[in-house]
Chain A
Amino acid sequence: MSAPPVDRKGWANQLIDGIGGRTTTWADVAPPRLPSPAAVLVEASYDAMPAIVAHVRDGSELLVVAAARMDPELRQELSEAGFHLVDPDGGITPPTVPRASEVGRLWLLTSGSTGRPKRVGHSLDSLTTVTGQLPPRRWLCPYSPGTYAWWQVVTLGLEVPGQDVVFVDTAAGDAWVEAAARHAVTAVSGTPTFWRHALMTHGAGLGRLSLEQVTLGGEPVDQAVLDQLREVFPAARVSWIYASSEVGAAVVVHDGRAGFPEEWLGRATPGRPTLDIEHGELVITSPHHGHGLGGPLRTGDAAVVQGGRVLLVGRIDSDEINVGGAKVSASAVREVLLAHPDVAWAHVRGRKAPLVGTMVVARVVLRTRSTDPAEAARLTHWCRERLPEHGVPRRVTLLNEIPVKETLKSDV
Chain B
Amino acid sequence: MSVVPREQLRVLMAEVMEAQGKSLPPDDEADLQQIGFRSLDFSELALRVEDEIDEELNFEAAGLRQVTTVGHVLDLLTEIQQA
Contact with B along A222-242 (1 / 0, CB 8 A): 001000100110000000000
For chain B residues 26-70, which have a beta carbon within 8 Å of chain A? 33, 39-40, 42-44, 46-48, 51, 56-57, 59-60, 64-68
Question: In the complex, how many angstroms separate the beta carbon of A186 from the nearest chain B beta carbon?
Answer: 21
Q: Are A352 and B42 in contact (CB under 8 A)?
A: no
Determine the distance from Cα of A297 to Cα of B60 in the docked complex, in whole angstroms: 36
- Asked whether A202 and B66 contact (CB < 8 A) given A354-B59, A389-B40, the answer is yes
Q: Are B40 and A377 in contact (CB under 8 A)?
A: no
Q: Which of B43, B46, B51, B60 has the most CB of A within 10 A?
A: B43
Q: Are B47 and A353 in contact (CB under 8 A)?
A: yes
Determine the distance from Cα of A205 to Cα of B65 in the docked complex, in whole angstroms: 8
Checking B42, B48, B64, B66 against A355 with a beta-carbon cut-off of 8 angstroms, the contacting residue is B42
Say yes or no for B83: interface residue by CB 8 A criterion: no
Say yes or no for B1: interface residue by CB 8 A criterion: no
Q: Are A353 and B46 in contact (CB under 8 A)?
A: yes
Nearest-CB residue, chain A, relative to B73: A200
Secondary structure of the B contact surface, majority rule = helix
Number of cross-chain contacts by CB at 8 Å: 61
Question: In the complex, how many angstroms separate the beta carbon of A388 from the nearest chain B beta carbon?
Answer: 11
Contacts of A32 in B (CB 8 A): none
Q: Are A395 and B48 in contact (CB under 8 A)?
A: yes
Determine the distance from Cα of A231 to Cα of B65 in the docked complex, in whole angstroms: 12
Contacts of A359 in B (CB 8 A): 40, 43-44, 47
Nearest-CB residue, chain B, relative to A196: B39
- Asked whether A231 and B64 contact (CB < 8 A) given A197-B39, A395-B47, the answer is yes
Q: Are B44 and A205 in contact (CB under 8 A)?
A: no
Q: Are B39 and A203 in contact (CB under 8 A)?
A: no
Determine the distance from Cα of A324 to Cα of B38 in the docked complex, in whole angstroms: 12
Say yes or no for A174: interface residue by CB 8 A criterion: yes
Determine the distance from Cα of A395 to Cα of B56 in the docked complex, in whole angstroms: 15
- Asked whether A200 and B33 contact (CB < 8 A) given A354-B59, A395-B51, the answer is no
Say yes or no for A166: interface residue by CB 8 A criterion: no
Q: Are A352 and B40 in contact (CB under 8 A)?
A: no
Q: Are B33 and A228 in contact (CB under 8 A)?
A: no
Q: Which of A193, A199, A203 has the most CB of B within 10 A?
A: A203
Nearest-CB residue, chain A, relative to B40: A356
Contacts of B65 in A (CB 8 A): 200, 203-204
Q: Which 10 A-B pairs have the closest CB atoms?
A: A203-B66, A353-B43, A394-B44, A355-B39, A203-B65, A203-B64, A354-B59, A204-B64, A356-B43, A200-B67
A residues contacting B by CB (< 8 A) are 173-174, 193, 197, 199-205, 224, 228, 231-232, 323-324, 351-356, 359, 361, 377, 380, 389-390, 394-395
6 further interface pairs, Cβ-Cβ under 8 Å (given A197-B39, A203-B66, A354-B57) = A200-B42, A204-B65, A355-B42, A359-B44, A359-B47, A390-B40
